[in-house]
């Protein structure tokens, strides 16, 4: 039996943000940077890879370390981090990994004969005279490479544009020779940063970072993180380096902009930066993005949602969910871990928020849970196909005295109240519930004292 697919799609103890998904053969591979559960800065780990069968997107396999950060000649001592990478298949059929280290502004390249084998350092992107891209007079710094190869030509997209910095113009597109390293055509700006967006159509959603490129039919889709950081936007063009027009927002990791079930401006989770891209799997399109955990920006986890590419080429913004790659709602029965919460927010005046954490250190395979819960905190899980649910249980620990109110909407009526008391070990508390049949969201709002930790909830038929 195939496994259900969740968000995050990898185990709760794995932290792979900046996901670039690709289908090679009969598997989907995700390449990203590598955060730690207790990270103090971004991207402290080596590059690793995970993959899943295209017809079983809940069954992810760890492919191991594909590239240690000390492999780059500029980083033999490991003092620099590996920032967000991308992969493309070169004219020779080999797989090329493009990346930037965190304290230099040049693009490094590694190569491998297979999608998830051991990549070896190959060289730096450079001009014909040997000067590295990013170091020639007039070059803007390189950052977050995204790549696409067509025939003997590879297009390289890079850039970072912080607010107030007029020295960086926008997203850059560079053409490379068939050797995957030599600049054939120098960079041009294809999407403006916020300091240069006036009158361009990108206002309010100007390029910030995370350039990624895909092609659907004859149209290039440039996916990027905008100036507000929590959203992934897209722009389209019929040409790879010219004519890009702003298209819209694909996803926000706080569901900001979604108005189908709440006010558009209401923030539904802990927001932070975002990075990802789109991919077609078995005829369906998905957006891969990341969320923040552990109360910092430095422990990010990959998530994904199904999207629609409309006949006119537009992509409507999608909700963030707990079911992601599942192809539909989760089964409305059984136990579900709390780390699947796609919404964690406050309904009280206390502005502190809860967070998803794990016990132990990085790499310890301990399932995540929600900590920092207090009066007014609400955790939301979307969606479940329910039939005949008669009882609900919550498993908690910690010093507390209160209740979890169970609802099917963040502002909906209370359908059940589960009373909880202090426990030094994980303990389940249950209550009868009149949960409607059909597709439902589940919201658990805590009311009371103390700070319970939430491990899971269970739907009983």
What residues act catalytically?
A: 18, 209
C-alpha distances (whole Å) from 59 to each of 24, 27, 289, 363, 459 are: 16, 11, 19, 19, 23
Distance CA 231, CA 211 (A): 13
Distance CA 424, CA 304 (A): 35
Residue 243 in tokens:
């004519």
φ, ψ at 46 (rounded to 5°): -75, 160
Candidates 235, 90, 225, 77; CA nearest to 156 is 90
Distance CA 415, CA 114 (A): 52
**Polymer length in residues for the chain:** 461
Distance CA 277, CA 286 (A): 8
C-alpha distances (whole Å) from 423 to each of 215, 294, 372, 398, 416 are: 53, 22, 16, 5, 21
Distance CA 184, CA 409 (A): 54
Number of neighbours of residue 73 by Cβ within 10 angstroms: 10
Distance CA 458, CA 461 (A): 10
Provide the pairing of β-strand 330-331 with 377-386. parallel
Question: To the nearest 10°, the Cα dihedral for 266, 270, 271, 276?
Answer: -120
Any residues with CB less than 8 A from the CB of 453 and at least 6 apart, and which?
Answer: 369, 370, 371, 373, 396, 397, 398
Any residues with CB less than 8 A from the CB of 168 and at least 6 apart, and which?
Answer: 140, 141, 159, 160, 161, 162, 193, 195
Candidates 305, 347, 345; CA nearest to 325 is 305
Any residues with CB less than 8 A from the CB of 46 and at least 6 apart, and which?
Answer: 34, 65, 67, 68, 69, 82
With beta carbons less than 8 A apart as the criterion, state whether 174 and 180 touch.
Answer: no
With beta carbons less than 8 A apart as the criterion, state whether 29 and 116 touch.
Answer: yes
φ, ψ at 195 (rounded to 5°): -75, -10
């Amino acid at each position: 039996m195939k496994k259900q697919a969740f968000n995050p799609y990898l185990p709760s103890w794995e932290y792979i943000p900046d996901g670039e998904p690709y289908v090679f053969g009969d598997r989907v591979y995700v390449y990203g940077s590598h955060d730690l559960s207790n990270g103090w800065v971004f991207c402290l780990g080596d590059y690793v890879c995970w993959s899943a069968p295209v017809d079983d997107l809940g069954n992810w396999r760890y492919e191991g370390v594909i590239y240690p950060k000390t492999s780059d000649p500029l980083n033999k001592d490991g003092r620099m981090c590996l920032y967000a990478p991308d992969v493309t298949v070169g004219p020779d059929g080999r797989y090329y990994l493009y990346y930037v280290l965190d304290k230099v502004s040049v693009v490094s390249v590694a190569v491998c004969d297979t999608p998830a084998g051991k990549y070896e350092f190959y060289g730096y992107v450079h001009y014909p005279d040997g000067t590295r891209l990013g170091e020639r007079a007039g070059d803007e710094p390189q950052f977050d490479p995204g790549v696409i190869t067509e025939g003997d030509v590879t297009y390289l997209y890079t850039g970072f544009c912080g607010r107030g910095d007029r020295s960086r113009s926008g997203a850059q597109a560079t053409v490379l020779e068939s050797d995957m390293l030599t600049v054939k055509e120098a960079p041009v700006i294809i999407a403006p940063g916020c300091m240069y967006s006036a009158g361009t159509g990108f206002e309010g959603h100007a390029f910030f970072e995370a350039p990624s490129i895909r092609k659907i039919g004859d149209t290039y889709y440039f996916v990027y993180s905008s100036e507000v950081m929590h959203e992934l936007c897209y722009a389209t063009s019929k040409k790879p380096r010219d004519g890009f027009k702003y298209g819209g927002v694909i996803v926000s990791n706080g569901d900001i902009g979604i108005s189908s079930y709440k006010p558009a401006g209401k923030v539904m989770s802990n927001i932070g930066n975002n990075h990802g891209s789109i991919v077609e799997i078995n005829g369906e399109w998905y957006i891969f993005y990341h969320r923040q955990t552990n109360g910092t920006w430095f422990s990010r986890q990959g998530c994904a949602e199904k999207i629609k590419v409309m006949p006119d080429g537009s992509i409507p913004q999608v909700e963030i969910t707990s079911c992601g790659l599942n192809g539909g709602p989760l089964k409305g029965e059984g136990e579900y871990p709390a780390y699947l919460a796609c919404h964690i927010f406050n309904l009280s005046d206390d502005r502190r928020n809860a967070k998803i954490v794990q016990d132990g250190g990085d790499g310890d395979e301990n399932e995540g849970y929600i900590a920092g819960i207090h009066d007014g905190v609400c955790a939301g899980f979307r969606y479940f196909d329910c039939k005949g649910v008669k009882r609900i249980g919550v498993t908690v620990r910690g010093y507390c005295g209160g209740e979890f109110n169970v609802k099917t909407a963040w502002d909906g009526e209370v359908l059940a109240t589960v009373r909880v008391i202090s426990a030094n070990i994980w303990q389940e508390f249950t209550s009868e519930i009149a949960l409607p049949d059909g597709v439902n969201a589940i919201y658990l709002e805590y009311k009371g004292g103390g700070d319970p930790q939430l491990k899971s909830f269970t739907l009983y038929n």
